[in-house]
Structure formats: structure tokens, C-alpha cells
Amino acid sequence: MLCSEIRNLYNKGFRIFMCGMARGFDLAAGECVLSLREELPEVQLWCVIPFRGQERSFSEVDRERFLRLTQYADEVVVLLEKYQAGAYHHRNDYLVDNASAIIAYYNGSEGGTHYTLRRAAKRGLPVVNICLSRLNELFSGLK
């Protein structure tokens, strides 16, 4: 589903896909962009890292995923040289302020995704919520 949403946006003219580089959904989204390169030759991955060394707290597997994405990215943007309070909000602001659309996995909980989607709504950005799409897909099969 995630890769198909990236493909849909590509088919609408989007070429640059920014990744916030957080564990979970962000890393999976970046991996989808890389996996689509043969099929979508103009697709670009930009890794937006909130601070240098973010990956140090990741598990070994996620750290390897992180490093692979940065190795094959078209652009790597490091916003701060070291961690400081608000670093993740700063990263989220950068992503929204430089985006034309958002793909997210938002389950309704408070936190960074909630903050980011509120900011995107204020800017009038279109949002594709994979979580809602997946839930709708699951529940449509229950009819």
C-alpha cells in the first residue's frame, strides 16, 4: 500500500520524496522510494535528519536501514549538528514547509505525527493517511 501511494503521487507529477528518517514508517517509506527507482527513473529520495547521530539510539537493524537510505539517497539534509530540545519538531517543520503533499501513518494518537499533520492542514497540504486507507480496506472485507 505504501509503495502504491508513492507511485500514485509520482504519477501525479511528484518526483522528490522526503523521509524524516524515524524508525518505523519513515524508514519503510524511504525503502519504498528506493525500491521504485527502476520503475520510476526520476524518483528521488531526500533524507531529512533532525540531528547528526540520530541513528545511534536505533537497534542494529534499524541503524543499518538508516545508513543504507543515506548511502543511496539523492540528497541528505542534516538540520542540527547535535541533539537539542525541539529537534524533532524542527525536522517536522522542515518536512511540512518543503512539501507539496504528505504520506503518513496516523492512528489518531498524540505525538509527532499529530503535530505534523496539524501543521500540514494549516498549510492546506493534501494528506494520504495509510493507516485509514488500510483500516478502510480491512473493514470493507467484512460486509
Grid cell, residue 94, equals 522542515
The predicted model gives 82-99 an average pLDDT of 97
Residue 14 pLDDT greater than 80, yes or no:
yes
- Give the mean pLDDT of the chain: 92
Q: Which residue is listed with cell 502504491?
A: 4
CA distance 77 to 47: 6
Q: What is the pLDDT of residue 46?
A: 98
Count of C-beta atoms within a 10 Å radius of residue 120: 20
Confidence of residue 136 (pLDDT cuts 50, 70, 90): low
Q: What is the pLDDT of residue 131?
A: 87
- pTM assigned to the model: 0.89
Torsions phi, psi for 67 (to 5 deg): -65, -35
**pLDDT digit string, tens, across residues 23-75:** 999 999 999 999 999 999 999 999 999 999 999 999 999 999 999 999 999 99
- Contact assessment for residue 21 and residue 54, using Cβ atoms and an 8 Å cutoff: yes
The CATH architecture annotation of domain 2-140 reads: 3-Layer(aba) Sandwich (3.40)
The 3-state DSSP class for residue 74 equals coil
